[in-house]
A and B are shown apart, each in its own frame.
Chain A
Amino acid sequence: GAVVSQHPSWVICKSGTSVKIECRSLDFQATTMFWYRQFPKQSLMLMATSNEGSKATYEQGVEKDKFLINHASLTLSTLTVTSAHPEDSSFYICSADPGQGVLEQYFGPGTRLTVT
C-alpha cells in the first residue's frame, strides 16, 4: 500500500513552454501533498505544500506564478512549470501525507525536467 505515482518520469521541453507534472496517490487519500526540487548533490528542497481544495503554500523564494500548483482532488496534485527556462532544469519529486495521525510521507519516483 501507500503508493504514489508521478508522471512523466522525465521530460524535455523547449525554453518558453510550460510543463505539467502529475502526482497521484494510488491507494490512499491525501489532503496534503508536498512538492520538492533537488539540485545535483543537494538535498530535497521543499517548494510548496499543496492542500486539497485550497491554495498552495509556497516556501520563501519560490515563485508561485512560475510554479503553479493545483490540488483538485484527494488523490491528485499537479505542478506546472510555466515559461520554463534552462535554469528550471532539475529533479522534481512529490510526496503525499495520508494524515490521520500517520507521520510518514509517501514519495513519488520523481520527474527529471530538462529545458533546452
Chain B
Amino acid sequence: ILNVEQSPQSLHVQEGDSTNFTCSFPSSNFYALHWYRWETAKSPEALFVMTLNGDEKKKGRISATLNTKEGYSYLYIKGSQPEDSATYLCAFTKTNAGKSTFGDGTTLTVKP
C-alpha cells in the first residue's frame, strides 16, 4: 500500500497571504509527482507534473518543488486570492505503471 499524505487537511487564509502545503510520498520507485487543483463541481485540473529530484515548477502565483530522495513536495501560493479557493491534490506515480495514488488533499479557503 502506497501512502501519500498531505498536510494540512484544510487551511483558511486572508486574501493576500502566501501559503504552502506539503505532500509526502514513498521515496522508492519514484516516477512522477502530480499536483491537481479541484474546485467544487468542476473537474480536477492538472497544475504540475514533476519527475526529477530538485524540480521546481511555476504557473503564475503557484509554484511547486520536489525532493524525491526524502519523498516530499511543496506547493506554494503567493498572494492568495479568493479564486484560489479549492482542494489541492497531489498524486504519486510509481515506476511507469501509469496509475497514480492520491493524497486526501488540502482544502484552501481564501477569505476576501
Contacts of B43 in A (CB 8 A): 4, 106-110
CB of A97 closer than 8 Å to a CB of B: yes
Query: Contacting A97 at CB < 8 Å: which of B41, B89, B98, B103?
Result: B98
CB-nearest residue of chain B relative to A5?
B43
B102: shortest Cβ distance to chain A, in Å?
A: 4
* B17-57 interface code vs A (CB 8 A; 1 in, 0 out): 00000000000000010101000011111100101000000
Interface size class of A (residues with CB under 8 A): 20 to 34
CB-nearest residue of chain A relative to B46?
A104
* A14-36 interface code vs B (CB 8 A; 1 in, 0 out): 00000000000000000010101
B60: shortest Cβ distance to chain A, in Å?
A: 18
Chain A CB count within 10 A is highest, among B4, B44, B45, B102, for B44
A49 to B45, CA, bound (A): 20
Known contacts A103-B32, A103-B49, A105-B46; A44/B102 CB under 8 A: yes
CB of A54 closer than 8 Å to a CB of B: no
Q: Can you list 16 A-B pairs with a CB-CB distance of less than 8 A? A: A4-B43, A32-B98, A34-B99, A43-B102, A43-B103, A43-B105, A46-B99, A93-B44, A104-B34, A105-B34, A105-B46, A106-B46, A107-B43, A109-B41, A109-B42, A109-B43
Binding site for A on B (CB under 8 A): 4, 32, 34, 36, 41-46, 49, 51, 89, 93, 98-105
